[in-house]
Amino acid sequence: MNLTKRPIMDPEAPNRSTGMINGRCSNVLNWDDIAYPWAYAKYKRMLANFWTPFEINMAQDVKQFPQLTAREQDAFLKIIGLLALLDSIQTDYAGRVADYITDPSINALMIMLAQQEVIHNHSYSYVLSSLVPKAKQDEVFDFWRNEPTLRKRNDFVTNGYKAFAEKPNVENLLRSIVFDVILEGLFFYSGFAFFYNLARQQKMVATSTMINYINRDEHIHVDLFAKIFKEVLNEYPEYRTPELADFARSTFMKAAELEIEWAGEIIGNDIDGIDLADLEAYIKFYANVRAHQLGFDRPFDGYRTNPLRWIKAYEEVDLGKSDFFEQKPRQYTKVQVDNGFDEL
Ligand code: ZN
Ligand code: ZN
């Protein structure tokens, strides 16, 4: 079944929508009259989490970056390059999904999600403009094009989005959400682990603070897409097929394989504090978590607990504004600071 775009206005339709997709709504948003009761809590949470890179003082990281090993610097830049591509296309994907959401409250959440992706992207420019010369920054923003493993991994997910963008129907939307959950809930995670590992050695704490905020946002985004996925399947149960389950299983397994390959190449066993076998288990653990979150069987036998025990403190994303780093002796100050970015 094809998807119909939400009209700008429908005077005959109710304010409370009749469906997540292909439903009817006036397109007027009244938070006190919404079809999906969970949406308001999510709205408040997304507002409360609002942050911008300008809050973060990069001074300490600027001093530390040249002291990282060559391997750490390389991994640092490659991961930023990866995240920059993923967050860029994520902004666009969220906007496209929003066009076909026929509920004004969920559309509102999707627009907020897209805005947060813009901020994530800004944070990568902010970090790089603080740490490396402009030419290097440009190079990092082209890694997605020029680095073969990165390209292979990213093509996997962008091709999944393309099918929905080119042919927006129910099946392609559902499948694209599987890719979305891989992008926001799996493909970021070995990169996150790398930054948290630096932070626990008291290195690059400002960058890791930003990564922690991004992690907190992505946690909410995955949950939002998982909820949309489940509501669509509730409204269109005929799409809950063995083929969809097979697709999800093979897609999560392939994604984990690509992520492990990438982690082996970029992080490997040369980074102090990260054991590659643990990182592989961590990736399979998260593939299981995400498949389960969408209502599918876990693709990997075992892998039910997080093998990177130390990372839990950093992934604790239910702390609201008082994040992990603020509970330690202050490593950074949240002040308005000019890192030189505005002059570029
Ligand atoms: Zn993001
Ligand atoms: Zn996201």
User: Is-contact 260 151, C-beta < 8 A?
Assistant: no
What pLDDT is recorded for position 164? 97
| Residues 196/208, Cβ–Cβ less than 8 Å | yes
The number of the ligand nearest the C-alpha atom of 84 reads: 1
Phi and psi for 126 in degrees, rounded to 5? -60, -45
pLDDT digits (tens, 9 = 90+) for 23-62: 999 999 999 999 999 999 999 999 999 999 999 999 999 9
Rg (CA), the chain: 20
pLDDT above 60: residue 321 = no
Return residues with CB closer than 5 A to ligand 2 (ion): 184, 218, 221
Say if residue 294's pLDDT is above 70: yes
Conformation bin of residue 231: beta by default, left when phi > 0, alpha when psi is -120 to 50: alpha
Q: How far is the CA of 215 from the centre of ligand 1 (A)?
A: 8
pLDDT of residue 319: 43
Q: Is 221 labeled as ligand-binding?
A: yes
pLDDT bin (cut points 50, 70, 90) of residue 320 is very low
For the chain, percent of residues with pLDDT exceeding 90: 83
Q: What is the largest CA-CA distance in the chain?
A: 64
Chain mean pLDDT for the chain: 91
Report residue 263's pLDDT band, with 50, 70 and 90 as the boundaries. very high
CA of 82 to the centre of ligand 1 (A): 11
Q: What is the pLDDT of residue 231?
A: 98
The answer to whether 117 is annotated as binding is yes
What pLDDT, on a 0 to 100 scale, did the predictor assign at position 33? 96
Q: Given this model, what pLDDT does residue 336 score?
A: 36
pTM score above 0.85: yes
**Residue 109 has what pLDDT?**
98
Predicted pLDDT of residue 331: 39
What is the token pair recorded at 21?
A: 């997709």
In angstroms, what is the span from residue 153 Cα to ligand 1's centroid? 17
Give the mean model confidence (pLDDT) for residues 159-184: 97
Model pLDDT, residue 343:
38
SS3 136: helix
Alpha carbons 143 and 323: distance in angstroms, whole number: 31
Rounded to whole angstroms, the Cα distance separating 195 from 206 reads 10
Query: Coil, strand or helix: which one is 329?
Result: coil
What pLDDT sits at residue 322?
43
pLDDT of residue 166: 97
Of all ligands present, the nearest one to the C-alpha of 88 is 1
Which tokens go with 317? 């994303």
pLDDT-based confidence at residue 316 (cuts at 50, 70, 90) = low
d(CA 30, CA 107): 12
Choose between 177 and 268: higher pLDDT. 177
- Which entry of 93, 100, 124, 213 is annotated as an active-site residue? 124
pLDDT digits (tens, 9 = 90+) for 97-150: 999 999 999 999 999 999 999 999 999 999 999 999 999 999 999 998 888 888
- Domains of the chain by range and CATH? 38-50+57-336 (1.10.620.20)
**3-class SS of residue 1:** coil
246 is in an annotated binding site: no
Alpha carbon separation from 341 to 54, 75, 83, 130 (Å, rounded): 10, 23, 19, 7
Distance 294 CA to ligand 1 centre (A): 19
Higher pLDDT, 81 or 339: 81
Q: How far is the CA of 133 from the centre of ligand 1 (A)?
A: 24
What tokens appear for 62 in the block?
């600027």
Q: Report whether pLDDT(64) > 80.
A: yes
- Can you read off the two tokens belonging to residue 42? 């999510």
Q: How confident is the model at residue 151 (pLDDT cuts 50, 70, 90)?
A: confident
HEC readout, the chain: CECCCCCCCCCCCCCCCCCCECCCCCCCCCCCCCCCCHHHHHHHHHHHCCCCHHHECCHHHHHHHHHCCHHHHHHHHHHHHHHHHHHHHHHHHHHHHHHHECCHHHHHHHHHHHHHHHHHHHHHHHHHHHHCCHHHHHHHCCHHHHCHHHHHHHHHHHHHHHHHHHCCEHHHHHHHHHHHHHHHHCCCHHHHHHHHHHHHCCCCHHHHHHHHHHHHHHHHHHHHHHHHHHHHHHHCHHHCCHHHHHHHHHHHHHHHHHHHHHHHHHCCCCCCCCCHHHHHHHHHHHHHHHHHHCCCCCCCCCCCCCCCHHHHHHHCCCCCCCCHHHHCCCCCCECCCCCCHHHC
Question: What pLDDT band is residue 329 in, cutting at 50, 70 and 90?
Answer: very low
For residue 324, pLDDT over 80 is answered with no
Active site residue 124: yes
Q: Which ligand is nearest to the CA of 113?
A: 2
297 is in an annotated binding site: no
